[in-house]
Structure 1
């Protein structure tokens, strides 16, 4: 059984003519990094919120580590596009807040050590006692990432965490995230609109058709070696085959990609060839 299983998930709002998405099926293995890409309105954030237990789906089931996801929990860490820091607390106190919630029996020293360790991992070891107002946008996002990692969740959920950052800062934090994920074997589900970012970070990419009645139309396997760097990617012809496939889907095929019924989406390996293979998604 996969670590995370999503079966026949659907979301409809009262008064709407059609569900935002329906028959969404996929799974994530422990330690896997999965990105989801699709046009605005297809329900990506709603799916992430359902995984976080922050929103209830209209139909379908979500199970993580053998248990139904029925509400929020500290076994899932969430990082939003907005850093969501408490402005009256210092950097380390923002992280300590989550650590104390996760381990209420810990001593003050243990909480301090845990928070400081993860802030050092994201390169903020010298900014522990600064207030969020004293930080750049990229530094605030690093605090949010450290706070999510510090509670040692079973799964990390990222909702376009770098979307508001400039390109240089975005690239730096992507590299930090990649390094930490590889070091900790963290399971990650991430929303992004950035094709290059998805290829750099993920093992698989879920492609959603346009809403309403959106579905996962394809699952793209990133067949590049896992110890990848930004420099190496841009010198690898396989990167461009994967990139071209993703862009072609978003530009030309997403509006028509409506697989029938509850059929699992096909798995595609464009880094190798364009053939379709039976899905292991559900």
Structure 2
């Protein structure tokens, strides 16, 4: 049986108290897999450890136990194979939009000429609608434009996996919708594998192939994995016309409102 592109087994994370003793785990016994080219969203209430899981996948944090295997290799530390977009844009304020993207591209391909780096970087900024703003500093960009630069920078290094930590959470609804559409278009064109945190149920339905539902922390688990069966050519304006949409949405909302806090994990199987 073939292994998924990304495999997470037995992941848990706890933090020590003042005396150094481990506290109750934030999350524990987390298992899931992501296939190559799949878009996966994870949803759960604050405190269940979503961002910590993403940071472990990025190599920016270490789990207390468990293992993350990507493309046949264990994840240990940061790597350009994984591009990350955070809630805040994390741009270098003294560099233009183009230079911010070039910074990542040059790290990925140090032997490229200046012209190669510039052309490659500009292409990805154009893909997110920033052809007119290549030479603007972050202070001259709106919040949505800054997030576009961050997304372009992550895509430009052509990572094996893209990790998104609520990248649209601070944006107004119109800007958020526009960037969602741009992200969806790029992902479909490139076949990018994506793991994304969101609190927005409709955003998850629009973007994801499957959605991981986490129970409340502490001792949070992956309670359910919901396959999104809507056709892949989704659009925000028409998605709600699909008869499957409300059934999926109601199931997700019901879990978050009524069932996430009462989730009781199944007992571990007895060793054979």
Smaller-chain TM-score range? over 0.9
Q: Is the 8 A contact 1:210 1:255 kept in 2?
A: yes
What is the CA–CA distance in structure 2 between the aligned matches of 1:258 and 1:43, rounded to whole Å? 17
* 1:2 equivalent in alignment to 2:4: yes
* 1:58 equivalent in alignment to 2:60: no
Deviates more, 1:225-234 or 1:143-152: 225-234
Change (3 A) 1:233 1:250: same
What is the CA–CA distance in structure 2 between the aligned matches of 1:262 and 1:130, rounded to whole Å? 55
The offset of 1:126, in angstroms, is 1.0
For residues 167-192 of structure 1, the C-alpha deviation after alignment (integer angstroms, 9 at most, x for no partner) is: 01000000000000000000000000
Secondary structure of the residue aligned to 1:23 is strand
* 1:129 equivalent in alignment to 2:129: no
Runs of 4+ in 1 over 2 A off after TM superposition: 260-263
2:256 to 228, 250, 255: 250
The offset of 1:83, in angstroms, is 0.2
Unaligned 5+ runs, structure 1: 264-282
Hey, what does 1:12 align to over in structure 2?
A: 14
Q: State TM-score, norm by structure 1.
A: 0.92
Mapping of 1:1-282 within 5 angstroms? 1-15=3-17, 17-262=23-268
Q: Is the 8 A contact 1:8 1:262 kept in 2?
A: no
Secondary structure of the residue aligned to 2:237 is helix
For residues 107-159 of structure 1, the C-alpha deviation after alignment (integer angstroms, 9 at most, x for no partner) is: 11110011000000001011100001111100000000000000000000000
Unaligned 5+ runs, structure 2: none
Q: State TM-score, norm by structure 2.
A: 0.95
What is the CA–CA distance in structure 2 between the aligned matches of 1:73 and 1:39, rounded to whole Å? 29
Q: Is the 8 A contact 1:23 1:262 kept in 2?
A: no
The offset of 1:259, in angstroms, is 1.2
Q: Cα RMSD over matched residues? A: 0.8
Secondary structure of the residue aligned to 2:132 is coil
